[in-house]
Structure 1
Amino acid sequence: MIQLLNLIQNEQMKIYRRLRTWILGLLLIVIVVLAGLVSHPGADDGNDQWKVRATETIEHNKKELENVELPEKFKQQMKEEIALQQYMLDHNYPPTDNTLWGGALRASGMIILVTLFTVIIAGDMVAGEFTWGTIKLLLIRPASRAKILCSKYITTLLFAATLLILLFITALIVNGFLYGFQSLGLPHLTVDAKGQVHEGSMLLFTLATYGLKLIELVMIVTLAFMISTVFRSSSLAIGLSIFIMFAGQVIAMLLLRYSWGKYFLFANTDLTPYLEGQPLAEGMTLGFSIVVLIVYFLVFNLLSWEIFRRRDVAA
């Protein structure tokens, strides 16, 4: 275990000694700041404007409920919206969108940048050793190949976690200055089937949102890491990983026209549709997607190990 920790520490030093790593981190912060400034509504949206809109929404929904031809499903949604808006008015809870938490939730969409930056690092983790000719120096150590590969993989995930934390903290700070930190204690509101409004932790809800997107991040990074073990060229490994990352969703949409398309990796990486009860294709469930992801995860890691174990470094 001590040997593995020393290897991880060594890999961490390799990453953070490079100027590229710090540029990626700084770039992430700059993009989060700019995105927060662009999405900020400005002074036109007064503090009490949301109350006017909430009142108008309640009145509009009440009139719509008088329509006897309205499907029961839409009536239930309108009743829940009325209960939610009235609760917000009664307790002076502004909409999440124009608060610190709304900005933090919007920033979760930029996890794709974290994925991209991590893919750049992951694609270079093993292939880079061959590119720079340092693989022989690495393998003459007493540590086994399994530990060396494991340390590189864990270091890659730790780097992804670091960027994710950086994204979250930056988003909180930036949006705190833009919208005010007074909304820090704002609850997350949900409405049950009986129309009762319940308060929950907004922090936990936001972390859960980031956590759900983390699954896709881990899968893509694992794929990029496997590609890095296949190719000796770090530039080729990084380029191919980035291409697969961006083309994956497009390919998934094309393949889902066929029954076997649901087994494609990128048809299962985004689990958020299940929260709304809208799977991408018929026959897909949350449990199904989780099983598919586990299988891919195991296959990627087994291939990485087998390729690295058999790789001839004498050439």
Structure 2
Amino acid sequence: MFNLIRNEWEKIFRQTSTYLMIGLLILILIASGAITKYIEGKEKAPSNEWKQELMAENKSLKQEAEGVQITTPSTREFIHKQTAINEYRIKNNLPPASKSTVWTFINDSTSLIPFAGLFVLVIAAGIVANEFTWGTIKVLLVKPYKRWKILLAKYVTANLFLLLMLFILFAGAWLIGAFLFGMGEASNNVHLAYVNGQVKEQSLFLYLVKSYAFHSLSVFMLAAMAFMISAVFRSSGLAIGLSVFLLFTGGTVTNLLASKFEWAKYSLFANTNLMQYIDGMPMVESMTMKFSIIMLLLYFSVFHILAFISFTRRDVAA
């Protein structure tokens, strides 16, 4: 199995496009940091009256929670959580970050995960289909390995590439953020979490790692879907086109459906963002993290059952 994975890994890095994708991701990070630095340079100096600002924000949130336009318990819970965090900051003299630091830049870089995911989808969509397109599938299948092991090695390699791109994004954001914005004040290097009715201080680094993992779930699931389409239909174009389209539109469409139909919670994209249970509120009121994990496991199982059955049972045309 190790030799199969190493062989697939070498195939990926024999392609010039792989290095172009990595270089483009780093360039996007640098451009993002430079733009943020330029915009902050044009802004006015931050106010020192942060306690008064948080008190005013809490007053506004409480008025909003009591308004007739707010009806869902999940929204009230979100407002209550934000109010509690603001009160904790005021009581413990923990001002919110008034300007960018390396940590805020890493947190902002999660918005670039879909771009990193775009490159991963290209690899996942082509890793099986290209064998048929290039005519190398017969050479691969005559090797003394069972078909399911060959397919598993390809899938593992695609996910290793996903981990590599996420590492490059995280490490690059840390290096660029530290260079452009510095480490920030010690009071800003802690994450405030609202757990079981209490505000607790947590490691900001661990929170960012968790945030990266949760935000990358949609890419992970779409890569599994692209891999399945690649194995079933043997078409990298179809796999890339459909998975990329869903990567950038699936969440938006699901949000629109969820505002009117409760059945939208069974959609894949209603469940890939587990951060909604930590920093926000569920897309549909009845959803829970347990429900989302079960739905993701079901989708994951279906994708792989279809991929492995198709690859191991279908004949290769002469």
Query: Is TM more than 0.5 here?
Result: yes
Partner of residue 295 from structure 2, selected from 289, 292, 296? 292
1:140 alignment counterpart? 142
Partner of residue 42 from structure 1, selected from 23, 40, 43? 40
Within 2, Cα distance between the matches of 1:96 and 1:16?
42
Report how far residue 52 of structure 1 moved.
Answer: 1.1
Unaligned runs of 5+ in 1: none
**Contact 1:191–1:198 at 8 Å: present in 2 too?**
yes
Within 1, Cα distance between the matches of 2:64 and 2:168?
51
Secondary structure of 2:216's match? helix
**Contact 1:226–1:300 at 8 Å: present in 2 too?**
yes
**AA of the residue aligned to 2:29:** V
**Contact 2:114–2:247 at 8 Å: present in 1 too?**
no
1:125 alignment counterpart? 127
Relative to structure 1, the CA distance from residue 53 to residue 287 in structure 2 (aligned partners, 3 Å threshold; closer, same or farther) is same
1:38-92 per-residue CA deviation (whole Å, 9 max, x = no partner) reads 122433557xx44514144156469x49x99985976885564243145346xxx
**AA of the residue aligned to 2:138:** K
2:215 is the alignment partner of 1:210: no
1:25 alignment counterpart? 22
Identity percentage over the alignment?
37
Within 2, Cα distance between the matches of 1:24 and 1:272?
27
**Contact 1:118–1:156 at 8 Å: present in 2 too?**
yes
1:228-281 per-residue CA deviation (whole Å, 9 max, x = no partner) reads 112233223322322233332244235433343321212211122222462212
1:67-120 per-residue CA deviation (whole Å, 9 max, x = no partner) reads 99985976885564243145346xxx6617521100000001111111111001
**Contact 1:84–1:197 at 8 Å: present in 2 too?**
no
Within 2, Cα distance between the matches of 1:184 and 1:173?
18
**Contact 1:87–1:197 at 8 Å: present in 2 too?**
no
**Contact 1:84–1:189 at 8 Å: present in 2 too?**
no
2:266 is the alignment partner of 1:263: yes
1:179-210 per-residue CA deviation (whole Å, 9 max, x = no partner) reads 11465895314276999864321111111111
Relative to structure 1, the CA distance from residue 50 to residue 191 in structure 2 (aligned partners, 3 Å threshold; closer, same or farther) is farther
Unaligned runs of 5+ in 2: 68-75
Q: State the aligned residue count.
A: 305
Within 1, Cα distance between the matches of 2:101 and 2:206?
16
CA RMSD in angstroms comes to: 3.1
**Contact 1:50–1:94 at 8 Å: present in 2 too?**
no
Within 2, Cα distance between the matches of 1:101 and 1:24?
25
Within 1, Cα distance between the matches of 2:168 and 2:204?
19
**AA of the residue aligned to 2:32:** A
1:107 alignment counterpart? 109
**Contact 1:84–1:191 at 8 Å: present in 2 too?**
no
**Contact 2:266–2:295 at 8 Å: present in 1 too?**
yes
2:310 is the alignment partner of 1:313: no
Within 2, Cα distance between the matches of 1:187 and 1:76?
20
TM-score by length of structure 2 reads: 0.84
**AA of the residue aligned to 1:303:** L
Relative to structure 1, the CA distance from residue 185 to residue 130 in structure 2 (aligned partners, 3 Å threshold; closer, same or farther) is farther
2:172 is the alignment partner of 1:170: yes
2:71 alignment counterpart? none
**Contact 2:225–2:243 at 8 Å: present in 1 too?**
yes
Secondary structure of 1:95's match? coil
Secondary structure of 2:201's match? strand
**AA of the residue aligned to 1:301:** H
Relative to structure 1, the CA distance from residue 268 to residue 198 in structure 2 (aligned partners, 3 Å threshold; closer, same or farther) is closer
Relative to structure 1, the CA distance from residue 155 to residue 31 in structure 2 (aligned partners, 3 Å threshold; closer, same or farther) is same
Partner of residue 153 from structure 1, selected from 148, 152, 155? 155
Relative to structure 1, the CA distance from residue 133 to residue 61 in structure 2 (aligned partners, 3 Å threshold; closer, same or farther) is closer
Partner of residue 87 from structure 1, selected from 84, 87, 92? 92
Relative to structure 1, the CA distance from residue 37 to residue 147 in structure 2 (aligned partners, 3 Å threshold; closer, same or farther) is same
